[in-house]
Amino acid sequence: MLYPLKFEPILMPKIWGGQNLKRLYTAADRYDNIGESWLVSAVQGNESVVEGGFLADNTLPELVEVYLNDLVGDGVYKRYGNNFPLLVKIIDAADDLSIQVHPDDEIAGKRHNSFGKNEMWYILDCTEDAFVCAGFNRKMTQKEYLTAVEDGTLEDYLQKHPVKKGDYIYIPAGCVHSIGRGCTILEIQQSSDITYRIYDFNRTDDKGNRRELHTEQALEAIDFDNWHKSLSSAVFVDNEARKIIETPYFKTLILSASKVQELDLSEIDSFVLLSVVEGRLNVNHPSGKTVIDTWQTALIPASIQTVVLNPDPKAKVLITYIQ
């Protein structure tokens, strides 16, 4: 019988990475700056490995191949086959990330035989002056954009959003964006690792080399018509799941749990991801109990119809699935 799955974190050092993730993972001590921790991934070369239970040491793609729709749901399997469609990661930015854009499904499929990358960010923690950039602060033409890239002023045209803990924003493919220093973010996205880097602040790595830019690819990927983006703040209502993001790629709800409650999944033809952003959550299911600590994510297989959520003593959780 399938059970809620937790995975070994995949830690990734980054030039802009920080120290916040080191307190979560002892394995992080061997790195100077951890930029990302991939919690649920089927991206080739970075496949999540199950942690605990009789399925321990199996990768997520292996489980999809064996359990098919029992793991991901009938509709999801019909749509995606053996390709698990989502990626969940934590991003810890001690420095500004590059200004970048992601391709949509059409461009990514044509160029990379991959999904595109539509994503959402949830602010787990941040410094007082933290911000993210998403979209332009005015409508721009391709010519104006290229001029700004060439003269190094693109940052002046980005829409800057001051952030606080609990804020969230949807970043569709084609949206120029950047995460500012001081942000720790939960990112839920399509299963893709394709980024077109536009500007990287002329940074160099430890060998003195600048990172590659993707100017031509980015120009094709940018959606110049859909340029304005809005940031939202999570409004939690005790023990009531509320929708915050609904896209063709995934749907995410937020729940502030302060009492034991049943989560009925029988009408959801999909796996469900439970991401605890604050507190601790005990999940009771037909095979036993799974504990999800702060900043952890568990995958509930589609074959599980009901779970009981038991916060310890309180928990805030994001609930994500495919519809």
pTM (global) more than 0.85: yes
Mean pLDDT of 168-182: 98
Predicted confidence (pLDDT) at residue 206 exceeds the cutoff of 80: no
What the chain holds in terms of domains, given with CATH numbers, is: 10-233 (2.60.120.10), 242-321 (2.60.120.10)
Q: What is the pLDDT of residue 41?
A: 99
- Given a contact cutoff of 8 angstroms between Cβ atoms, the answer to whether 212 and 197 are in contact is yes
Lookup: tokens for 315: 């928990």
Q: What is the pLDDT of residue 27?
A: 72
Predicted confidence (pLDDT) at residue 146 exceeds the cutoff of 80: yes
Residues acting as catalytic residues: 197
Lookup: tokens for 267: 């009408």
Predicted confidence (pLDDT) at residue 245 exceeds the cutoff of 80: yes
